[in-house]
A and B are shown apart, each in its own frame.
Chain A
Amino acid sequence: MPLGKWEPDQRLRAADLIFIILMVTIVLFMFYRGITADTGRYALVYFRNEHILKIDLSKNKYYTVKGALGDLRITVNDGKLRIIETECRDKICIHRGDIFRAGERIICVPNEILIRIDGKGEVDAISG
């Protein structure tokens, strides 16, 4: 490789194609695993890594959780959980919409809140 400025090719090379195909395969595999997971029965709420609330997804109900910035309003409807109100700036957790499959989660970074749907597989793994 020559010293000084050396520009890589400006057209796709074989190595690029292999890299892209590899990445797309990984994405498709993970996406498939994600959308075929079982629906969960419980949601676990964590604040600063501490488990603070267990939500039963079979009951339609409202919950209020205290985050780092302020209150979070959570609603459960037809086994699906969503956040309807927060104090943060971007409201990413609200735009995340419904979660109900095992392993799905909503993470509210400014509020340091994590909500995770408990899955069958995970419980089995813990209980042995």
Chain B
Amino acid sequence: MRFPDNYKVGKDDLTVLYYILLASLVGVIESAIPKPIPFLRLGAANIVIMHLIFNKRYKLALVTTLMKTAVASLLFGRIITPMFPMGMAGALFSYTVMLLFYRAGIFSVYGISMAGGIVHNVIQLLTLSFLLWTVPSMNLLSLAILLGLITGGVNALIYIRLKDKIFPDTPIP
């Protein structure tokens, strides 16, 4: 396949690039903050994904979440470690569950965000267990769920408080 000569960079391309860069930037800044326990990350890129899902741009949200994980893994040299499949699976399942919770129509921003956070952590842990061929310990699983619940709640709060400031009021082109 060849890129057409008369191709003009349209608004859509810039939108995709903009959201991938925004999510990656948030993820990279977050990864740079040292953390005492592995799952204690806000996952603030989820705020961007939530914004896209609430605008019904599901495909854009999927591309953004996968590219964000790939960019962060490349930048921090994690792409050849088990951290990469862990993050990829976590991001994919978290997106799917947030989409399902949103489509269910009975959950508020809090419920959707918390579900995303919990699934992200738990799937990461399960992927790691699968790669190491074991069963995850109860303590780690409960920690993953608890931290997902808390960070999801904080993300929802940030989204509600700051969405008018972070995201432009005009619909995504």
Instruction: Give me the interface of A with B, judged by CB distance under 8 Å.
Output: 1, 3-16, 19-20, 23-24, 26-28, 30-31, 33-35, 46, 49, 90, 92, 95, 103-105, 107, 109-110, 112, 114, 116
Interface string of B136-149 (1 = CB under 8 A from A): 01111110011001
CB distance from B57 to the nearest CB of A (A): 9
| With A10-B109, A13-B107, A116-B134: A110-B118 Cβ-Cβ less than 8 Å | no
Q: Is B58 located at the chain interface by the 8 A CB criterion?
A: no
Bound state CA distance, A27 and B147, in angstroms? 10
Q: Which residues of B contact A26 (CB under 8 A)?
A: 142, 145
Q: Please, could you name 17 A-B residue pairs with CB atoms under 8 Å apart, sorted by A?
A: A1-B103, A3-B56, A8-B107, A10-B108, A13-B111, A15-B106, A19-B111, A19-B114, A23-B118, A24-B149, A27-B142, A34-B137, A49-B133, A103-B138, A104-B139, A109-B82, A110-B81
When C-beta atoms are compared, the residue in chain A nearest to B112 turns out to be A8
Q: Which residues of B contact A16 (CB under 8 A)?
A: 107-108, 110-111, 114
Bound state CA distance, A107 and B132, in angstroms? 9
Q: Which residues of B contact A33 (CB under 8 A)?
A: 138
The 3 closest A-B pairs by CB, nearest first: A16-B111, A9-B108, A30-B142
CB distance from B60 to the nearest CB of A (A): 13
CB distance from B150 to the nearest CB of A (A): 11
| With A5-B56, A19-B115, A20-B114: A12-B108 Cβ-Cβ less than 8 Å | yes
Q: Which residues of B contact A24 (CB under 8 A)?
A: 149
Bound state CA distance, A10 and B171, in angstroms? 19
Q: Which residues of A contact B55 (CB under 8 A)?
A: 5
Q: Which among B37, B111, B146, B160 is the interface contact of A15 at CB below 8 angstroms?
A: B111
Contact A12 B132 (CB under 8 A): no
Q: Which among B56, B83, B134, B146 is the interface contact of A114 at CB below 8 angstroms?
A: B134
Contact B149 A109 (CB under 8 A): no
Q: Which residues of B contact A104 (CB under 8 A)?
A: 137, 139
CB distance from B68 to the nearest CB of A (A): 20
Q: Which among B38, B106, B110, B141 is the interface contact of A92 at CB below 8 angstroms?
A: B38
Q: Which among B83, B102, B106, B146 is the interface contact of A27 at CB below 8 angstroms?
A: B146
| With A19-B107, A107-B128: A5-B171 Cβ-Cβ less than 8 Å | yes
Bound state CA distance, A16 and B112, in angstroms? 8
Contact B137 A105 (CB under 8 A): yes
Bound state CA distance, A35 and B137, in angstroms? 11
Bound state CA distance, A74 and B110, in angstroms? 43
CB distance from A113 to the nearest CB of B (A): 9
Contact B111 A30 (CB under 8 A): no
Q: Which residues of A contact B110 (CB under 8 A)?
A: 12, 16
Contact A34 B111 (CB under 8 A): no
